[in-house]
Chains A and B, each alone.
Chain A
Amino acid sequence: MQVPILKQGAYLIATVQSALTDEDLKQLRDALVGQVSKVRARGVIVDVTALDVIDSFATRTLRDVAHMIRLRGAETVIVGIQPEVAFSMVKLGLSLEGVATALDLEEGLAYLNRKVKGPDHEVRTHR
């Protein structure tokens, strides 16, 4: 099943709706990495609230997505990992190192707002 990707302001939001096959994951990766500079997005949120299993392939793909998007000039945050899922991931040694995570969509947006715009780095335009 394909994951819908929505554009919200300067961010792309991909909400996973149901369990993903490896093929779906690759498709999601390519779609996100492709679109991020097409729409000049500053940040990407991947919402995995609906997933009750995140295996090693999914973890690696999510990490790859985050790193590739960083290289294309935007930030990624994974949101909505369930408590049970988080603990079984850690048990399997899958800890998404170097990837930002947040509790839910709202927290993810707050994180991106801090990271991308940031109160300290306000962009000023000179006349």
Chain B
Amino acid sequence: MSDVKELATPTERRLESTASLLRELVAHLTQQRAQLREEWAQLITEAKLLTAMTKEEIFAEATSVYDNYVEALETGTYEALQAYARNLSERIIPRGVETHEVVGIVLLLRDVLARSLFGKYRDDFNKLNRILDAYEPAANRIAITVAVGFVQERERIIREQQEAIRELSTPVLQVRERLLILPIIGVIDPQRARQLTEQLLRGIRTNRAKVVVLDITGVPYIDSAVANHLVQTVEAARLLGAIVIVTGLSPEIAQTLVNIGVDLGKMNTVGDLQGGIEEAERLLGYRVVLTKEATEEPA
């Protein structure tokens, strides 16, 4: 039972033969390297994949993908390939290479190599079958590794961009002494709502604001959790001694606020941003006076 060398079970026998078959396969692929690589690069161009790259670049990348591919087949370990896939993705994603292209070229390579195996073993059907048994799982695993590496890299970039957008998304602007405007554009999700509250309360403190106009003209709808959060933000601002005027409520948002039963005594709302600013100026004691009719075009 402990005698390993005898290769007693069928699984062990298969493993052994898989390894030797893969060795044979790798030897073949190494020998045919130049020709298969050429063939593959040709197919990539014909299939109009990687159009963002020049022919030379495609050939250079094809060479390293090929070598990494063969190495993964030979060693049965995928770490090096994974690292390479991530590195490759990092380089080509900014150039606009799509997921289908990356998956496409790896599958093309798989097919090119399979065809070459068909050619080599066409006289020995049994051998061909066994070679393919060894080759296919490894090839599929490689395809998955590369595709997953690419998608992960893309997701990482998307996450970074979301972060960046989030940071840009809530400007706090001072329009007059003690008067802030927060124009909100786009959908407010719970995380953005939290950030909005933080920015608003902090803005009140740092600018010593008395009135804040929160303009949500650019927000199409909010769900009731966010609506509640908004009402709480308005109340929290009051605790800091500031009045919040909410402007530009869409009919849908008005409906949501009514549905959650908001206390209208606590919430100051004005139809549009202009009206909100005028109301804020009134509260602060400003009076805007037109000094001259603007009849002439400014020079």
Contact = CB atoms under 8 A, between A and B. Distances in A.
Contact of B232 (A78, A90, A107, A111): A90
Contact of A101 (B205, B232, B233, B239): B239
A115 to B, nearest CB: 13
B239 A81 contact: yes
A95 B239 contact: yes
A87 B233 contact: yes
Interface in A72-127: 78-79, 81, 83-84, 86-87, 89-91, 95-96, 101-104, 107-108, 111
Interface in B229-266: 232-233, 235-242
A103 B198 contact: no
Interface string B196-209: 01100110110010
A86 B242 CA distance: 12
Given A83-B198, A87-B197, A87-B201, A101 B236 contact: no
Contacts of A81: 239-240
Q: DSSP class of B's interface residues: helix, strand, loop or mixed?
A: helix
Contact of B241 (A79, A90, A95): A79
B208 A107 contact: yes
A66 B240 CA distance: 16
Given A83-B201, A83-B202, A102 B241 contact: yes
Interface in B161-205: 197-198, 201-202, 204-205
Given A83-B198, A83-B201, A83-B202, A90 B208 contact: no
Given A103-B241, A107-B241, A91 B232 contact: yes
B239 A89 contact: yes
Interface residues of B, number: 18
Contacts of B238: 95, 101
Contacts of A79: 241
Contacts of B236: 83, 86-87, 89-90
A96 B236 CA distance: 10
Contacts of A90: 232-233, 235-236, 239
A49 B201 CA distance: 15
A48 to B, nearest CB: 10
Contacts of B208: 103-104, 107
Contacts of B239: 78, 81, 86, 89-90, 95-96, 101
Nearest to A100: B241
Contacts of B201: 83-84, 86-87
B202 A95 contact: no
Nearest to A85: B239
Given A83-B236, A101-B241, 8 more contacts: A86-B240, A87-B236, A89-B236, A89-B239, A90-B232, A90-B239, A91-B232, A95-B239
Interface of A: 78-79, 81, 83-84, 86-87, 89-91, 95-96, 101-104, 107-108, 111
20 contacts: A78-B239, A83-B201, A83-B204, A83-B240, A86-B237, A86-B240, A87-B232, A87-B233, A89-B239, A90-B233, A90-B235, A95-B238, A96-B239, A101-B239, A101-B241, A102-B241, A103-B205, A107-B210, A107-B241, A108-B241
